[in-house]
Amino acid sequence: MKSFNSILAAMLVLAGFSCKSTTKWEGQGPIQIIPTESRAIEKQVKQTYFVGDQVYFSNEFEGARLNGAEKVNDTLYRVLILPENEPINPSPWYAFKVWSERAQTFWIEFTYSENGFHRYFPKISNDGNQFSNVDSLNFMLPKVQEGRPKEAYLKVTSSPDTLWIAAQDLVGTVDAETWKDKLAEQSFVERIEIGKSTEGRKLEVLKIGEADDREMLMVISMQHPPEVTGYLAMKSFVETICEDSPESRAFRKKYNLYLMPQMNPDGVANGHWRHNAGGIDTNRDWVNFNQPEPKALAAFMEKKVADTGGEFVFAADFHSTWEDIFYTINEDLEGNMPGLIPKLIKRSSKRIPGYDPNIRPTETNERSVTSNSYFFFVHGAESMTFEVGDNTPRDLIKQKGEYTARELMRLLK
Ligand SMILES: [Zn+2]
């Protein structure tokens, strides 16, 4: 049996991507301007599937994604995972619970819509809170079509105790709220509600700092629900800025950091692959502003600038993709602090032995539909999309977030 990593490597090579350190991944192609008026989404039916032999599968929790479950035979059960609507970027999120009245060992077959394929290496948890990678011996991707695995098989042992199975740690809902509560206990953190999502969830910005608003920073994450690794890098970045150290305290006296960690709360709560409750990729809506999330944040930033006469000097949007990559602005263009981003990536990367950052500046000089482009072209903020690989080790993610914050504080001193 091939290991997941070798299959993933084969998959990326077949898909035209390279994971060899000698040739860098070229990242996504140019981003098209697409209509962003709301489109219908199909809501998954929230239910517990009793599939026979006293085995249960359930999607009855926030962030779940499970569209069907059935028994194939005594040692095989099949689950169906569907997107909220199509066309959609291939990021098939799944999350569900399994239990049985007596202990049983069986395989679970993951199946997807016609254009879907398996992407995320499964994580399991006994409490819905602490997740870990499954043992690779219990996981198979036997059939690869056009470079992508069509189905996946995971061996589990169920019991009366609930087992959670998910594409990544379930951090987008409860964990994110707990984390924000904890941050907000500090005197220099303030919560600001800037609007509501389509389903009425709070859109919230945290103000971190005790400065005037002459020079401001903006950080966002989780426009795309499954992008947990980017969220973890953002957390590490923000926690470093919030430290009780002379450097962080001085930084917070000079700059206010505005943070929107949950850019798409509806998408996360509904276990979406990519879109918000309006069925749209919010990171294609930063010109049209048809969706409440980008619209509220842009209005907040523009009002801040108008009210204070200050400016945003730095912005980062944290995401996840196949491999670590930084999407930056064309280096010929100058914002409010020319050269800040290339210097920052270079210096923070240097602190990680053997790490050679993959940096992809935009080739055109024109504004596009992403947040990164909005931050730069409208606000002059030196801006980047900070992409973390789906399988980047967690300690490296933490280091990257931390070192980026430390070098940023040094550069902005
Ligand atoms: Zn993304």
Confidence at 116, pLDDT banded by 50, 70, 90: confident
Q: Domain end: 108, 133, 166, which one?
A: 166
Question: How far, in Å, is the centroid of ligand 1 from the Cα of 55?
Answer: 35
Residues 235 and 380 in one domain: yes
Note the pLDDT of residue 9: 41
Same domain, 322 and 184: yes
Percentage, residues of the chain above pLDDT 70: 93
Residues 260 and 241 in one domain: yes
Domain match, 156 and 191 both: no
Instruction: Pick the range with the lowest mean pLDDT from 23-27, 99-103, 104-108, 221-225.
Output: 23-27
In this structure, are 309 and 210 located in the same domain? yes
Whole-number Å distance between alpha carbons of 178 and 114: 37
Last residue of a domain, one of 141, 166, 191: 166
Same domain, 152 and 194: no
Which among 118, 135, 166 is the end of a domain?
166
Give me the number of domains the chain comprises.
2
Q: What is the pLDDT of residue 174?
A: 87
- Transcribe 104-128 into DSSP letters: EEEEEEEEE-TT----SPPEEESSS
Q: Does one domain contain both 182 and 314?
A: yes
Percent of the chain at pLDDT exceeding 90: 85
Ligand 1 centroid, distance to 320 Cα (angstroms): 5
Residues 203 and 319 in one domain: yes
Query: Which are the catalytic amino acids?
Result: 387
Q: Separation of 362 CA from ligand 1 center, angstroms?
A: 16
Per-residue pLDDT band at 34 (split at 50, 70, 90): confident
CA-CA distance, 51 to 55, in Å (whole number)?
Answer: 6
Instruction: Give the separation between CA 282 and CA 223, rounded to whole angstroms.
Output: 6
pLDDT above 70: residue 29: no
At residue 90, does pLDDT exceed 60?
yes
pLDDT digits (tens, 9 = 90+) for 287-338: 999 999 999 999 999 999 999 999 999 999 999 999 999 999 999 999 999 9
158 and 178 inside one domain: no
Q: Which residues pair with 321 in a beta bridge?
A: 389
- At residue 337, the 3 state secondary structure works out as coil
* Out of 18-27, 102-111, 231-240, 391-400, least confident range: 18-27
- Do residues 199 and 317 both lie within one domain? yes
- Torsion angles phi and psi, residue 239, rounded to 5: -60, -35
Same domain, 229 and 373: yes
The CATH number of the domain holding residue 379 is 3.40.630.10
User: Are residue 142 and residue 178 in the same domain, yes or no?
Assistant: no
Query: DSSP string spanning 187-229?
Result: TTEEEEEEEE-TTSPEEEEEEE-SS-SSEEEEEEE-SSTT-HH
pLDDT digits (tens, 9 = 90+) for 171-189: 988 889 999 999 999 999 9
DSSP, res 364? S
- Residue 41's domain comprises 4-166
Q: For 229-277, how does the pLDDT look when each residue is reduced to its tens digit (9 = 90+)? A: 999 999 999 999 999 999 999 999 999 999 999 999 999 999 999 999 9
CA of residue 51 to ligand 1 center, whole Å: 35
Query: 319 CA distance to ligand 1 centroid (A)?
Result: 4
Paired strand residues for 280: none
